[in-house]
Structure 1
Amino acid sequence: MTTIYRCITEDDTSQFCHRVSEALSKGWSLHGAPSMAFDPQKGVMRMAQAVTKEIEAEYHPEMKLGQQ
């Protein structure tokens, strides 16, 4: 088994929640608490949530983590 990691980022909108919910529905697990920071260039709050998943395959850099 291999643990893979990804960090989902998005403006603080419902789209962020949908992206995290989709990852959870595909077997990813939350890794730590979400983070929030103000993006002064865009003038919006940005969200981030790390997620992990156990997979059977070995990790390789060409993996499309969002499709796992």
Structure 2
Amino acid sequence: MSTPPDDLPRYRVLTGPDDAAFCRRVSEALDLGYELHGGPAVTFDGERVIVAQALLRPGRP
């Protein structure tokens, strides 16, 4: 696991279409030391599934 830069926020919410690009974004955040915070929220915008996932960086005040 790499150490994330200090300027990254402790809390993030990633959103986007439920596709490979979204999964890569979440995976990259996990590689930076973020942890999933709860399960994803999922909705349908009439054309595609949209996902939101909250992430936390532990150990930071």
TM-score exceeds 0.5: yes
Extract unaligned runs of 5+ from structure 1: 59-68
The equivalent position to 1:44 in structure 2, one of 45, 48, 51, is: 48
Distance 1:55 1:35 in 2: 25
- Displacement of 1:55 after TM fit? 5.8
Identical aligned pairs, as a percentage? 42
Structure 1's consecutive aligned runs of 4 or more residues displaced over 3 angstroms after TM superposition are none
* Pair member with larger Rg: 1
Distance 1:34 1:54 in 2: 19
How high is the TM-score relative to the length of structure 1?
A: 0.68
Distance 2:59 2:36 in 1: 15
Extract unaligned runs of 5+ from structure 2: 1-8
Determine if contact 1:30/1:50 at 8 Å carries over to the other structure: yes
Distance 1:13 1:27 in 2: 22
How high is the TM-score relative to the length of structure 2?
A: 0.76
Select the structure that is richer in strand: 1
Distance 2:59 2:48 in 1: 35
